[in-house]
Structures are given as structure tokens and as C-alpha cells.
Structure 1
Amino acid sequence: MTLLPITVPASLLDVHRLDPEAGGWGFRADHAVGTAAGDTYVLSGLRRVGRRAADSADPAERDFGYQLVTRYGSDGKPIATAVFGQAVPGGAPSAVPEREGTTLAVLPDGTVAVSSRPGSTHLLSPDLDEVRVSWPMSWGWEARQDAGDDPFAASIAVTPAGRLLCMTSEYGLSNWAGAHSNIVAVSEPVTGLVQDRKPVLRAVATLDSRTDSQSEADWYAHVRYGDEPVGRGNRPAPSLTEALSRLTGTSGSLYGYLDSTMSRPAALGDDLFVVPVFGKIYRSTNRGQEFSFAVVDDRGLLRGRLGGLHLREDSPFTGFDFTLVADPHRARAFHLNRYGLYAWSADGMLRARMSTAEKPFKPLVHFALLECTPAGELLLAHRKQHVLLRVPVPRDLDDLAVTVENALKGYGRERTALKKRYAPVNWLWSDSAAAVRCL
């Protein structure tokens, strides 16, 4: 078990004169990924709202919203931080916009991919000192006409062989305005990505097939099914909405998969993937609504679902914990929500369930599961104390509960040691050692 502080550059706090003991600011951990060499990249967000002097020349009087990618060495110490989302006072405009739903991926050549919905991808150097490639995608039709969109993916996961498992978005779906995440696609093995050689993504699944309002302007050349771009009827069939509705017997049901959404697909291996699909979200309670962790292969065949979950007792809709992560090197999948931590083998069998109703695992409700590293460690971020807990997963998943229990027991001791080193105020961890780059 290892604990990392999710830090903020001291220089950024100084320029805005942010007082951690005052209100009006917020900090969050969005995603994290590990490398085979043991480094960790953490994506976080820092913002301040409620200031009235929006036009003031004094940064201390203005609101702000930044995203940050921080690289940590194998010893857990921060090495470099890239700041983006808006211009730092006195600096040039940011080349990477701030977006919700942003995730990271480390490509085989070490390049860091920053992807966000609906389909923007920005490639950063491993040292976080430059933006090498930008492929932007706007939410709305008018915006994309003005911006000259050139999208790639809303999310990327890398398989052991270097294939890119991607989620991409489409315009012109059903009655939705703007772009909607709808396609699961995979590339052939790649080493890296460059501006003039965007790899082809082969569609293996589509969430929704209601595309009557699409035109050729809604198609993208790099996302293909067969020999043509995905568009209208040229896509994998049946859709996941249709296939899961039949599998669960919910076709036509108000609480079925019609108008469902999906979150970031995860790789169980080079040719086997998990696609989290969630039924329509209503304004009232959604606990008990349909959801599935669908298992799909690279030929588009629905192999089934990750099993063992109860729609109500294990519902991810409480707290909207929709993240599923996988370890493609060992063919295992994991999910954490307000009711428990779950682990599956590649055959879809639930191998471990740690209920947050049980005393040893109650602290899990304070954590969000972000990713699984190439070394087989779960990365969990504390929602309030802003630290990253690395939990090694044992070879036998039957032993996972003991490992997690021991990690949670040791959490307080490790956190105390970090507090002595960083002296956080209101759980904001300030760091002045890492190199800071504004992108």
C-alpha cells in the first residue's frame, strides 16, 4: 500500500492568493494512470467561484478554473505539473480547454493522452512540458462549424499489445442535441500518435442505432465499420441498447435501456472489453434502474455481462459512481460504488465483494476508484482528503478483501507521515518542488 498526496503548485496558489481556510474554492481528482516503470500521472481540478470583481487585473479578485496533470516518480514524489484550462495570469491562452469527464492514458511511447467528451484528444510529452498534438471536438453543431473540429476520442484505454480502446461520439442521434458518446472502437497496435497519422478505429459496438437524422457531415473518416466511416446504418448491429434489452427482458420498459448512456470502456485484454451501460437517469431516485457491465469482444460479439450484482443493493446510481476499471494484463475488472468494492475474473464471475456496510470496509465510501495500473494496483482517491491510495491486487482475488482491509487500516498512519512532510491546510496539499508548465 502506497499513499500519494494529490498536490497543487504553490506558485499557482500564490498568484491567486488562495487561502485554503477560506471558502469559495474546490479541488477534485478526476483520473489517474500508472506506467510500467512505476510513475503515476494524476489529473485533478482546482477552481474558485463567487468573486465579484471578474474584470479586476488582480488575480486574487478573480474566479478561476484549472485542470492539472501531475507526474509522480516511483518514489511517490511529484516531478512535474502541467496546468491548463485557462490562461495563468500573465501567460498565454491555454491550448487545452477545461472539460468535465476528462481522462488520461499513457501510450506505449510514453506520450500522455488527455481525452475528454465529446471527442477531444490532446497529446502531452511524458515530461508534461509541451502539447504535441491537439484534436478538438465541440459539443454543438454551430460550435464545431466555427471551430474546425478534428476529433479523435472521448476516452482511450491501452491494451497490453498497444491497441487503443476508444469511446467516440456522434451527432444526429435520436432526439439528442449535440454530440453523444455512442461508439466503442479499437485500433491496431500503435507505438504513439502523430498529427498527420491518426490511426483508424474499427467500431466493435454502438450504444444507440437511432440515426435517421444523420448526414455525411456527421461521419468521421478515422472511425470505421467495414470499409466505410461509421454513419447511419453502417455500424455494428444489434446496438448495445437492443442487445441488453433482449438479454434482460426489458424491451419497452420505462426502466430499461432506451436512452441509456455509457461510461469509459475498459480492456480485459487485447480482444476482450467491458462497456458500462446505464439506463436513463430520471430526476427522482434512480436506485434500482437497469445497468450492465457488458462484455464485448473485438468482433463485436456480446459475450454477456459481469455478473453477481443486484440492481438495487449494488446500484451505482447512488452517488453516480459509473467507473469500471480493468487489468488487461491479468484479465480482471473492478468497480467501486457507495455499496461496495467488486472484482471479477474474465469469465464474468464475481470473485470478491467488499460491502461498505461491513465495518472493515466502511471507509471505502470516501474513495473513488480511478484506475488499475500495469503492476496490478488499484488507484483510489479520497474525495475530501485528496490523497491517492495504491492498493496491490493479490494474484488470487479471494485474498483481495484481506489486502483492502489492511490498506485501509494503514491509511491513517501513512496519511500522518504525509501531513508532516507537506503540512496541508484544509486538505489542500501545496508543493513547490515539482516543475510547473502552463500549456
Structure 2
Amino acid sequence: MTRPPTLPMTLPASLADAHRLDSAAGGWAPQHAVATPDGDTYVVSTVWRPGGGTGYPADPALCELNFRFITRYAPDGTPVATAVFGGPRPDGTPSAIIPDGSGDTLALLPDGTVALALRPGGTHLFSADLSRVLGTFPMPWGYEEREVRAGDPFAASIAVTPSGRLLCTTSEYGLGWAGAIVNIVAVSGPGTALAPGSKPALRAIASLHPATDRQTDADRQPHVVFGGAPVGRDNRPSPTLTDLLTDFTGTAGGFYGYEACKMSRPSALGDDLFVVPVFGRTFRSGSRGQEFSFAILDDQGALRGRLEGLHRHDDSPFTGLDFTVAADPHRGRAYHLNRYGLYAWTADGQLRSRTSTSERPFTALKNFELLECTPAGEILLLHRKQCLLLRVPVPQDLDSLPVAVETALKAYGSGRLALKKQYDPVDWCWLDTSGQVFHH
């Protein structure tokens, strides 16, 4: 059976009814998606509403909300099961998971376990059918010593290589006054696994910033190591990514260079080759033209180059703050979508395809954001307003990618029409009444 290219990002009807999420005061949005080799898709979403009224459970239609939910979709796009957490169960029982962080990302571990990673470093494990919470590794935001010791973090993001290694980012306390900051890129060793009650050691391969003068021994995380000892103070990869990219690009330091830069989720180009998006300071007046690099690192932390061919102004990801790079480690490719184009590279960083969003029929791509690349070689694009996921099969020849995108966009229109007849959405809210809902 041919899989439909367009999937609805559904909201459990029971959750919407209980909290009147159709009201203008509330909102929800998908955050990230991953797929299995068999074609199942998992999507994590956030439900929010600012506080007000008398609070839960006295008036669930007015109370503050900060739910997360993960939905599993069959290959044909049918919602199968949803795990809801973060807020109390319908009977008032507290949630097993308190989502302190943000930046929700999913990963499928080799044994089928679903891993949810939240910044600054909380990781939570679910069974493949989403019916059980298998384990939690929480990390609080604060920087006081008592809060550091209270947490049991693992990673702020996780990507899985073809052999099952985990490519992670981790956070550090003591880098400033803002609590935990994502600062380390690390990898697990071959044959190690993340499981309930058991964290593999992560070997740090890159550090973003060196300002560690406020760190103490209490800030070290035993599972993140460098040179055989926990990362902390001067025991870290050096030179930093900030210095490496400044030298590599010939950029002057300071306010408009890589000073005070940040990084988004790394992605695996292979078992020992990774791409790390690094971007400079953002400004309230606009940041188009500011420095950025999609750096290529090997598993020893050596800078192998970057994804080439992007113009700092004409292809700037700062417009819309689209910094995601999705890599296909099975085929050695990388993809990026921002307001100016869809780009594809080979593993050596050479740009092979650029589809401009200024030309028809590709102007519609401005409404999508790139979420992930699937084991089948598809890229997953989320429509920001219509909450629909578009699967774009990538051809073997990357020169033909624009044709594949055009075909997918045409199928998106007809698929959306069919889904509207099936779900009858209001304000693009696709309510699911059929899938199992598990409140954790």
C-alpha cells in the first residue's frame, strides 16, 4: 500500500475537551518527529496556556497548562497511541514526568525505546507502544548546588548513528548566571546503551564556550567525561568550537562574530561524522547577515569543515530562526530549510541542491519547517499553521530533489483536502478520537 505523503498532527479529543483547548487562550504545537524503519512516526507536541482562574482542577478550562504529548502514527497516518504527561492525570494524580525544560526532541533507541530529551538535559524513556514510562533522568534549570545534586541528567538532545551510538549535547552549570547552558557535544561508545537506571558514559568531543571560572566540583556530571575524568573547569575539549570556527572562517572576534554563539541539535552524517549548527548572537533589530556555520566534526572532535555554499545574508537562517540540520547517516546526506531555500549536501559538505523559495512552485516552502530525516530517506516537513506533516522522498540523485519537492507539494494540497473531509478541523486543530491515550 502506498503511504500518504500528508499526515495530520492530531490532538487527543479527550485532552481538548477536558481543558477546552479550542479556546483562544490556549495553544499547542508539534516540536519534533522521528520515524522507524517500518514507517511508524512519533511526534512530540507541547500544549500551553498562561495561568488564570482558580487553577486545576477547580476550573480546567482556565488553569495554566504545560502538557507534553507524544503520538505514534501508523505508516498510513492513523494515530495509534498518545502518551500525555507534564500535567496531572484526570483523577488529579501528579505526572510522572515534570517537563522543566524546552526544545523537545525525540530519538528512537536501537531496542525500540522512545527517548525524549529536553533542554537543559532531562531525558525520559517510553516503551515503543507509549503505554509505559520506563525511566526518567531529570535535570533542573537552576544553578545552586542543591539543585545540581538533586538532578540525574543525561542529555539535552540525542541522535542515533547507524551502529547505535548516541550523539548528544549536554549542559553545564557555572558558565554564567542563567542556570544550565548547552555547551558540550559528546558521543557514547560502541555497544553501550541507554536504559532505565543505566546511563552510558558520554565522551566529550567539543565544547562551545570556555568561561568556566564559576564552576565547582559539584557542577561535574560523572557520565560526561574527557580524558577519563568528568568534564569540568579546564578538563574539556580544546580549542573550543567558538575558536575553531573563528579561525576556520577567518572571522574577526567580538560582537558580530562567534563570540556568545549558540548551537542547536547536532545530527549524525555517519557513525563517526557529525554536523553541528553553530550561530552567532541574535539582535532585536534583526540578525540577517550574522555569522553561522554548520560545522562538520569527526568523533575525535576534529573540525573537518562545514556545509558549504551558503551566503551569510542571502541564505541566512536568522530570518525565522531556522537552524535545524537533518542528516541521513545511512546515505551520507544533510538537509536544511529556511525562509530562503531548501538545501542538500553530501557528507563531505558539498552543496548539491538549492531550491529557492522565491520561485514558484516552491514559495509554499516558506510555510514549512524541517523536522527530521527518516531511515527510508524521506525528509519530514511541518506546516507551521496547518499542523500537517509532509513526507518528501529524496531521490538518489540530489539534482532531482526540486522535482521530488514539487511532486510532494502537489500531493500535499490533495491530501489536505481529504483530511479536512475526514477530521473536519476547526482552526487547523485535528482532533483524534480513535487512538489510545495514556496519561503518565
- Which TM-score applies when normalising by structure 1? 0.96
Q: What letter is aligned with 2:173?
A: Y
Q: Does the 8 Å CA contact 1:24/1:50 hold for their aligned counterparts?
A: no
Residues in 2 aligned to 1:217 and 1:147: alpha-carbon distance in whole angstroms: 7
**CA 1:69–1:212: 2 relative to 1, 3 Å:** same
1:342-396, Cα deviation, whole Å (9 max, x unpaired) = 1110010011111111111111111111000111111111101101111111111
1:38-79, Cα deviation, whole Å (9 max, x unpaired) = 110011122334743436613233332311100011221111
Kindly state the Cα deviation for residue 285 of structure 1 after the two structures are TM-superposed: 1.2
- Residue matched to 2:102: 100
Residues in 1 aligned to 2:375 and 2:150: alpha-carbon distance in whole angstroms: 36
- Residue matched to 2:283: 282
Instruction: Show the 5 A alignment for 1:142-221.
Output: 142=144, 145=147, 148-173=150-175, 175-190=176-191, 192-221=193-222
145-154 vs 64-73, which moves further: 145-154
- Residue matched to 2:434: 433
- Residue matched to 1:2: 5
Residues in 1 aligned to 2:261 and 2:334: alpha-carbon distance in whole angstroms: 22
Q: Does the 8 Å CA contact 1:155/1:166 hold for their aligned counterparts?
A: yes
* Secondary structure at 1:101 match in 2: strand
**CA 1:369–1:143: 2 relative to 1, 3 Å:** farther
Residues in 1 aligned to 2:404 and 2:62: alpha-carbon distance in whole angstroms: 47
**Are 1:422 and 2:423 matched, yes or no?**
yes
Structure 2 segments unaligned to the other structure (5+ residues)? none
- Residue matched to 1:83: 84
1:214-246, Cα deviation, whole Å (9 max, x unpaired) = 121111111111211111221111110001111
Q: Does the 8 Å CA contact 2:125/2:196 hold for their aligned counterparts?
A: no
1:176-219, Cα deviation, whole Å (9 max, x unpaired) = 43111111000123474223431011111111122122121111
Residues in 1 aligned to 2:253 and 2:350: alpha-carbon distance in whole angstroms: 28
- Residue matched to 1:314: 315
Residues in 2 aligned to 1:307 and 1:55: alpha-carbon distance in whole angstroms: 51
- Residue matched to 2:15: 12
**CA 1:252–1:193: 2 relative to 1, 3 Å:** closer
Kindly state the Cα deviation for residue 23 of structure 1 after the two structures are TM-superposed: 1.6
**CA 1:172–1:191: 2 relative to 1, 3 Å:** closer
**CA 1:111–1:190: 2 relative to 1, 3 Å:** farther
Q: What letter is aligned with 1:3?
A: T
- Residue matched to 1:398: 399
Instruction: Show the 5 A alignment for 1:292-311.
Output: 292-311=293-312
1:312-363, Cα deviation, whole Å (9 max, x unpaired) = 1111111111111100000100111111111110010011111111111111
- Residue matched to 1:352: 353
Structure 1 segments unaligned to the other structure (5+ residues)? none
* Secondary structure at 1:232 match in 2: coil
248-257 vs 263-272, which moves further: 248-257
- Which TM-score applies when normalising by structure 2? 0.96
* Secondary structure at 1:66 match in 2: strand
Residues in 1 aligned to 2:16 and 2:394: alpha-carbon distance in whole angstroms: 36
Kindly state the Cα deviation for residue 283 of structure 1 after the two structures are TM-superposed: 2.2
* Secondary structure at 2:286 match in 1: coil
181-190 vs 86-95, which moves further: 86-95
Identity %: 60
- Residue matched to 2:132: 130
Kindly state the Cα deviation for residue 88 of structure 1 after the two structures are TM-superposed: 3.5
Q: Does the 8 Å CA contact 1:326/1:332 hold for their aligned counterparts?
A: yes
Q: What letter is aligned with 2:19?
A: H
222-231 vs 185-194, which moves further: 185-194
* Secondary structure at 1:24 match in 2: coil
* Secondary structure at 2:144 match in 1: helix
Kindly state the Cα deviation for residue 172 of structure 1 after the two structures are TM-superposed: 1.5
Instruction: Show the 5 A alignment for 1:222-371.
Output: 222-371=223-372
Q: Does the 8 Å CA contact 2:159/2:167 hold for their aligned counterparts?
A: yes
Q: What letter is aligned with 1:5?
A: P
Q: Does the 8 Å CA contact 2:143/2:179 hold for their aligned counterparts?
A: yes
Kindly state the Cα deviation for residue 145 of structure 1 after the two structures are TM-superposed: 2.2
* Secondary structure at 2:103 match in 1: coil
Q: What letter is aligned with 1:202?
A: R
* Secondary structure at 1:243 match in 2: helix
192-201 vs 97-106, which moves further: 192-201
Residues in 2 aligned to 1:253 and 1:58: alpha-carbon distance in whole angstroms: 51
Q: Does the 8 Å CA contact 1:109/1:191 hold for their aligned counterparts?
A: no
Q: What letter is aligned with 1:32?
A: A
Q: Does the 8 Å CA contact 2:192/2:200 hold for their aligned counterparts?
A: no
